Amino acid sequence: MKKNKFFLFIIIFLLALIIPFTHVKAASDNYLQKVKDKGTLVVGTSADYPPYEFTAKENGKTKYVGLDISIAERFAKDIGVKLKIRNMNFDSLLVALETHKIDMVIAGMNPTPERKTSVAFSKIYYTGNQYMLINKSDAARFKKIKDFKGQTIGAQTGSLQYSLVKQQMKGNDVKGLAKLNDLVIALQSHKVNAVAMEEATAKAFAENNRNLKVINPGFDIDASQTGSAIGFSKGADSLVTAANKTIDEIKKDNLINKKYIPAAAKNMTANSKKKSMMNYWTYFAKGIEYTLIITVVSVFFGFVLGTLFALMRLSRSKFVHGLAVSYIEFVRGTPLMVQVMFVYFGVGAVIQSLPALVAGIIAVSLNSAAYVAEVIRSGIESIPSGQTEASRSLGMSQKETYRYIIIPQALKNIWPALGNEFVTLIKESSIVSIIGVTDLMYQMQLVQSATYKGVIPIFITMVIYFLMTFGLSKVLGYFEGKMKHA
Amino acid sequence: MPNLIEVQNLGKSFGDNEVLKNINESVKKGQVICVIGPSGSGKSTFLRCLNVLETPSTGKVLFEGNSLTGISESELNNLREKMGMVFQSFNLFPNMNVIENIKLAPLRVKKISDTEATQRAKELLERVGLADKAEQYPQSLSGGQQQRVAIARALAMNPEVMLFDEPTSALDPEMVGEVLKVMQDLAESGMTMVVVTHEMGFAKEVADEIWFMADGSIQEKGTPETFFKTPKTERAQDFLSKILN
C-alpha cells in the first residue's frame, strides 16, 4: 500500500515535469506567416508604466494607451493584422513569450545580455534615462547614488532598474515588487527611500503627485541597455525583421517624439484630471463581474470534482483510492498561486489557445476540488453505517444508497464547511490576477495606475470583497436555517 | 415445506477472532425462528450473514436455492429485496419523512408508480397503527413508533422473509409491547421470520423454533416448550437460569 502510493507520487511528479516540455517548436521560422494566418498579433505588456503603456478611459471604455501601444498598433497595421493586447505582470511577460501565449512583448523592455539569451530583440526604438523617484522631503539628502548609503531602494522585479540597483548600489537593500504602483505606495509610506524608474515613468509619477520628486542619481549605464526594444520568441527572425522595418520608418519620421509621446501625455493628463474614484466604477464593476464568474464556475466544478475525488478516496480499489489521496495531498500541499501559473504557462504550452480566464478557472476549480473532497469525505464518514445497511438491506445498490441516503444527509452536515470554502474561493480567486485575468484585484491595479493613487483603490477593493463574502455568508446561512427545519 | 434459507458450513472471522463456527441450519417457509443466547455469542453476526451485510468467511448461504455469495452486486441486490431487515437502532432515513422512508425502495428498486407506492405505504402504516404519522419526520417519533415505521418500510418490498436484529433492545420498556404486537401480527399472517431477541416471553409465545447460540455456534434447538422447560445443554440451562431469575 505505502509503496503503491509512493509510486503514484513519482508518476504525478514526472508528468508535472514533462508537460511543459512536450511542446515541439516549429522547425523553420514561420512565425510571421503564423501571425498573418491567424490575423491577430497578440502583444504582451504590463500596463502600469506611463508613458510607455497604461490604461485610459475613452467614451466609458478602458483602453490600453502609451507610446509602446502606438508602436504595436503601427506594427500590426504594417503586417496587416489586428492587434490584441494581453496585460500581465512584467515578470510574467517573458514566460508568456516562451510558452507562446503572446507573439511579442513591448513593455519598455531593455534588451539586456541576460534577456538576449532567451529572447530575440528588435532594434532599440527609444532610449530613456534611468532615474530615481524620491519623496520631496528627502530632496536635500538624496542627490547621487552615494547619498543612498544604507537606504532601501525599491524597483520592479525582473526589471533593468532592479539589476542596476543590485549591481551599482551594493550597500543597499533592494525591495522588489511586481507593480510600480505598489512601489510608489511603499515610497510614500517610507518603506523604501527611493524607487528606481525609467525617466519618463518617473516624471509621470512626480507630475501626478506633489510630494514626489525625480532625480538623476547617475547610474553608470551601458548605452545598449538603456534603450527599449521589442521582444520576440527566440528564432522568430521573420518577425524581428518586420519589426525593424517598422521601427526604421517610425524613427525616420520621428513619430515617437512628435506624435506618440504627446498623445500619451494627453492621456496621462486626462487620467490625472479624473482622480475621483467615481470615474472608475466601471473598472470595479468589471472586476466584480469576473471575480463572480470565476467563483461561481469554480464552485460548481470544484464541487462536482470534489465529490468525485471524495468517492474515489472512499473507494475499495487501492489504485483509485491512492490516486485520489495523491491528488488531494499534492494540491493541498502546493500554493494556489503556483498552480495558477502552472496551468496557464505549463498546460497552456500544450494547449496554445488556452485563455487566461479559462486557465484561472481550471486552476481554482482543481484547487477547490481537493478541499471540497476532504469536506465531503468527512461528511460521508459522519453518516452512521446503519444508514447504509438499512438501504442495502432494502435491495438498493451502492449508487442508489449514496444518491438518496448518504449524500443528502452528508450535504446537510457539511453545509457550513462548504459555505466556508465558497467564501474562501471569492477571496482566493484574486490570485488569478497574476496571469492577467481581469478580476477585481486586477482591476484595482488598473485603477491605481490610472489615478496614481495607491491606497484608496485598495480600500475600495477590500470593501467590495467584504460585501461579496458577507452577502454570500448571509445567503448560505439562510439555506442552512432552512435545511435545519427539514 | 421447502427450505427458504439454507446455511451450509457458515463461518465468520474478524481477523483472528472467530465469531461463527461451522453453522448448518435451514429456515422453512412460514417458520418463525427466535435466536437467543448470551451477548457476544454471534447472534447478530449470524443474522447479518443471512443477507450478506457481513460476508461469510467460509461456507454458503442459500436463499430459495440461490447462493448469496460469489454473485454480482446487482444479483445480490435482487435477492436482498426479498429479505426484509429490521435493526436494533431503527436506521430510518432522517432526511425523509415517514411515508417517503417507506416509498423510497419500492420507487427506486421496484420502480412502481408513485400512486401505487403511496397506496401501499398507507396500507402498511395503517397496519402498524401509524396512519396519522405519514408526514412526520423520524426524529419527531418515539422509539417504538420509529421501529414500527422501520417494519413497515421493510414490508413495503413484499419480502419473503423478515430478519429482526434485536428490534426492541434500544426501546424504553413501555414501548416494547407495541413493537412486539406488530411482530406477532406479522407472524400470525404467515410471514417467515428470523428474530434475534432477548424477549423470552415473545419467543415462547410466537416462535415455532428456538435456536440457542453460544460461542459462535448453535448449541441447541427445539420448540419453545421443550427448550424452556427442559434445556438439554449446560450452556442453555445456565443461560436460562440467569435471565429467568
What was the ipTM of the complex prediction?
0.93
If pLDDT is split at 50, 70 and 90, which confidence band does B111 have?
Answer: very high
- The answer, yes or no, to whether residue A451 has pLDDT greater than 90, is no
What is the rounded average pLDDT of the residues B80-88? 95
What residue has cell string 504594417? A78
Which range among A47-51, A109-113, A376-380, B104-108 shows the weakest confidence by mean pLDDT? A47-51
Q: Which of residues 3-22 of A touch B (CB under 8 A)?
A: none
Q: Closest residue of A to B158, CA-based?
A: A394
Query: In which domain, by residue range, is B135 found?
Result: 92-158
Shortest CB distance from B94 goes to which of A397, A404, A409?
A: A409
Mean pLDDT of all residues belonging to chain B: 94
Return the closest-CA partner of residue B213 out of B69, B49, B40. B40
Q: What is the dihedral of CA A119, A120, A123, A126, to 10 degrees?
A: -20
Contacts of A473 (CB under 8 A, 6+ apart): A419, A423
d(C-alpha A161, C-alpha A180), whole Å: 12
d(C-alpha B7, C-alpha B50), whole Å: 8
Contacts of A181 (CB under 8 A, 6+ apart): A48, A445, A448, A449, A452, A454
If pLDDT is split at 50, 70 and 90, which confidence band does A265 have?
Answer: confident
d(C-alpha B193, C-alpha A8), whole Å: 50
The percentage of chain B sitting over the pLDDT mark of 70, rounded to a whole number, equals 99
d(C-alpha B184, C-alpha B162), whole Å: 12
Residue B83 counted as domain residue:
no
Residue B104 counted as domain residue:
yes
DSSP A30-60: -HHHHHHHHTEEEEEE-S-BTTTBEEEEETT
What residue has cell string 505598489? A182
Q: Which residues of chain A neighbour B137 with C-beta distances below 8 Å?
A: 486
- The answer, yes or no, to whether residue A310 has pLDDT greater than 80, is yes
- Distances from the Cα of A309 to the Cα of A314, A420, B7, angstroms: 9, 19, 39
Q: Within 10 Å of residue A320's Cβ, how many Cβ atoms?
A: 14
Residue A28: per-residue pLDDT:
54
Which range among A10-24, A59-73, A95-109, A169-183 shows the weakest confidence by mean pLDDT? A10-24
Helices and strands: H and E segment counts in chain B: 9, 10
Delimit the domains of chain A by residue range. Answer: 27-127+227-273, 130-225, 279-484
Q: Which of residues 371-390 of A touch B (CB under 8 A)?
A: 384, 386-387, 389-390
Rg of chain A over CA atoms, in angstroms? 26
E strand or H helix at B40: none
- Across the interface, do B105 and A392 touch by the CB < 8 Å criterion? no
- Cα–chain-centroid distance for residue B222? 19
Residue B233 counted as domain residue:
no
CA distance A411 to chain B (A): 11
- Distances from the Cα of B179 to the Cα of A42, A404, B109, B167, B211, angstroms: 77, 27, 27, 8, 21
Residue A14: per-residue pLDDT:
54
Domain count, chain B: 1
d(C-alpha A93, C-alpha A79), whole Å: 22
Q: Closest residue of A to B103, CA-based?
A: A394
DSSP B129-158: T-GGGTTS-GGGS-HHHHHHHHHHHHHTT-
If pLDDT is split at 50, 70 and 90, which confidence band does B12 have?
Answer: very high
Q: Which residues of chain A neighbour B83 with C-beta distances below 8 Å?
A: 393
The CATH architecture that domain A279-484 belongs to is Orthogonal Bundle (1.10)
- Across the interface, do A408 and B53 touch by the CB < 8 Å criterion? no
pTM of the model: 0.69
Beta bridge partners of B34: B195, B210
Q: What angle do CA A469, A471, A476 make, to 5 degrees?
A: 90
Q: Which residues of chain A neighbour B93 with C-beta distances below 8 Å?
A: 387, 390-391, 404-405, 409
CATH superfamily of A27-127+227-273: Periplasmic binding protein-like II (3.40.190.10)
- The answer, yes or no, to whether residue A13 has pLDDT greater than 80, is no
Residue A134: per-residue pLDDT:
94
Shortest CB distance from B91 goes to which of A387, A408, A412?
A: A387
The percentage of chain A sitting over the pLDDT mark of 70, rounded to a whole number, equals 91
Is A130-225 the same fold as A27-127+227-273? yes
d(C-alpha B20, C-alpha B33), whole Å: 18
For the record, the C-alpha cell of B59 comes out as 461456507
- Do residues A435 and A88 touch, judged by C-beta distance below 8 A? yes
- The answer, yes or no, to whether residue A1 has pLDDT greater than 50, is no
What residue has cell string 488531494? A328
CATH number assigned to the domain covering A130-225: 3.40.190.10
- The answer, yes or no, to whether residue A478 has pLDDT greater than 90, is no
- The answer, yes or no, to whether residue A37 has pLDDT greater than 80, is yes
- The answer, yes or no, to whether residue A271 has pLDDT greater than 90, is no
If pLDDT is split at 50, 70 and 90, which confidence band does B181 have?
Answer: very high
Mean pLDDT of all residues belonging to chain A: 86
- Across the interface, do A408 and B95 touch by the CB < 8 Å criterion? yes
Return the closest-CA partner of residue A464 out of A435, A434, A444. A444
What residue has cell string 427539514? A486
